[in-house]
Amino acid sequence: QDPGSPTSRSTCLERLSCIFGRRMSRHGDISSSPDTVGVCVYQYKMPRLHTREEVMDNARKICQCIKGTKQGLPGMDLIVFPEYSTQGIMYDKAEMMETATTVPGPETDLFAKACIENKVWGVFSLTGERHEDHPKKHPYNTLVLMNDKGEIVQKYRKILPWCPIEGWYPGDCTHVSVGPKGMKISLIICDDGNYPEIWRDCAMKGAELVVRCQGYMYPARDQQVLVARCMAWMNNVYVAVSNASGNDGVYTYFGHSSIVGNDGRTLGECGTETDGIQYAQLSVSGIRDARKTDQSQNHLFKLLHRGYTGVYNSGDGDKGIATCPFSFYKTWVENPLLAQAQVEEITRPTIGVECCPVAGIPKPSETLDPLVNELSLS
């Protein structure tokens, strides 16, 4: 057949599409495919709630959002809701402790039913999840990843609460779970994402999609939009950010929920609107192919094969250098109290400051008795 004929060119294009098309993440359609995970980030309005009854009513509203969104996006495999979307921020400690729940619990029972009925996976926020020593200790700030059978496949507790304001008890580890169509997923929450260590930890454990649920407010809009793109690029991961919108009487939430490709380019981003959504199809084979074949920007590979070009051409093997060159991290692992003291030398030795004091945090000149400095933002 004449290679220049229209038929031949058409056949070549079809073959190229078959080979490369399945490796492409994309934006703008309502579908998904066997190779792509349809991901939706839902920009829910930050609720202001006070009682268990109000929380359950709001959870039912979220379930209705799942139903409607799935109807409009038939390819949707995963829907993500913001931090605080279920219970809101309880600025009163008594309300916070009263509305703290369990996992599983009545809220996740509702979400499970919605996931089953709509054949979709979901990421849901629980603020808070009761501490094992409840009510003596503060709750956790928790996310759950739920599959389309209504099963909780990942429970993540926020490692880095937004101090000095947030009073959550910190979690202690990240997780990676196999999600829809085999994509490997990690969950992180809001202020977690300001620390590059957590992104790298998730990526090095195998995460292909890092979901960051936020209740992020002004004035930090520009910085947080930048963080999502930078961390996707630096860790060769997809990023899905679901942020709150609206005003809860205390803060105004800037939205800008987004889905970012593993090359750091934004596939879709909301504005500041309430109930906005973004949707994209993330290729499973595409990110795996990139991690296997990319070279100059394959940050995960290069970090543990440092300088392999020079090492190989010096006759010292083909693996580069694997040893960690960063002394701070060695100290942190081997002697965390020493690392803490080193940080205090370049910052401060107390959790409070004399200027602009925050309720619940003692100033350096005050007592450290928590009963004297009780948090009360009501």
Token pair 């059978």 is at which residue? 149
Provide the CA 16 distance to its chain's centre, in angstroms: 34
Whether the pLDDT of residue 371 is over 90: the answer is no
Locate 334 and state its tokens.
């081997």
The pLDDT of residue 11 is 52
pLDDT of the residue at 369: 61
Respond yes or no: is residue 63 known to be catalytic.
no
CA angle (91 as vertex; 90, 93 as ends), nearest 5? 80
Region 291-318: mean pLDDT is 98
Question: Which whole number is the average pLDDT over 299-328?
Answer: 98
Residue 39 DSSP label: E
Exposed e or buried b per residue across 281-307, where buried means at least 16 C-beta atoms within 10 angstroms of its C-beta: bbbbebbeebbeebeeeeebeeeebee
* Strand 238-243 versus strand 258-260 pairing type: antiparallel
- Which has the closest alpha carbon to 279: 41, 22, 114? 41
Amino acid 366: pLDDT: 80
CB 266 within 8 A of CB 24: no
Look up tokens 């990843």; give the residue: 145
Q: Which residues of 145-163 are buried (b: 16+ CB within 10 A; e: fewer)?
A: bbbbebebebbbbbbbbbe
- Does pLDDT of 2 surpass 50? yes
Q: How many CB atoms lie within 10 A of CB 354?
A: 10
Query: Tokens standing for 77?
Result: 């495999």
Q: Specify the pTM.
A: 0.91
Strand blocks (E) in 131-224: 140-146, 152-157, 177-178, 184-189, 209-214
CB neighbours of 336 closer than 8 A, spacing ≥ 6?
none
CA pair distance 136, 138, nearest whole angstrom: 7
Task: Give the C-alpha separation, 139 to 97, whole Å.
Answer: 7
- CA dist., res. 139 & res. 56, Å (int): 18
- Give the whole-angstrom CA distance, residue 175 versus residue 186: 6
pLDDT one-digit tens code per residue, 316-360 = 999 999 999 999 999 999 999 999 999 999 999 999 999 988 988
Kindly state the DSSP code that residue 228 receives in the 8-state scheme: H
The residue with greater pLDDT, 144 or 377, is 144
Asked if residue 224 lies in contact with residue 216, where contact means CB atoms within 8 angstroms, the answer is yes
Sign of CA dihedral 254, 258, 264, 267: negative
Nearest to 207 by CA among 170, 277, 156: 156
Residue 365: pLDDT band by 50, 70, 90 thresholds?
A: confident
* pLDDT tens figures, 132-191: 999 999 999 999 999 999 999 999 999 999 999 999 999 999 999 999 999 999 999 999
Q: In this predicted model, what pLDDT tens digit does every residue of 32-50 receive, in sequence order?
A: 999 999 999 999 999 999 9
Amino acid at 95: E
Catalytic residue at 83? yes
Task: Write out pLDDT tens, residues 220-243.
Answer: 999 999 999 999 999 999 999 999
- Among 40, 63, 115, 190, the active-site one is 190
Closest CA to 102 of 147, 148, 135: 135
**Does 193 have pLDDT greater than 70?**
yes
Q: How far apart, in Å, are the Cα atoms of 261 and each of 30, 236, 239, 283, 365?
A: 17, 9, 7, 10, 48
Mean pLDDT, the chain, integer: 93
**Options 83, 107, 129, 269, the catalytic residue:** 83
Q: How confident is the model at residue 18 (pLDDT cuts 50, 70, 90)?
A: very low
Does 334 participate in catalysis according to the annotation?
no
* DSSP three-state, residue 41: strand
Task: Please tell me the predicted confidence (pLDDT) of residue 24.
Answer: 84
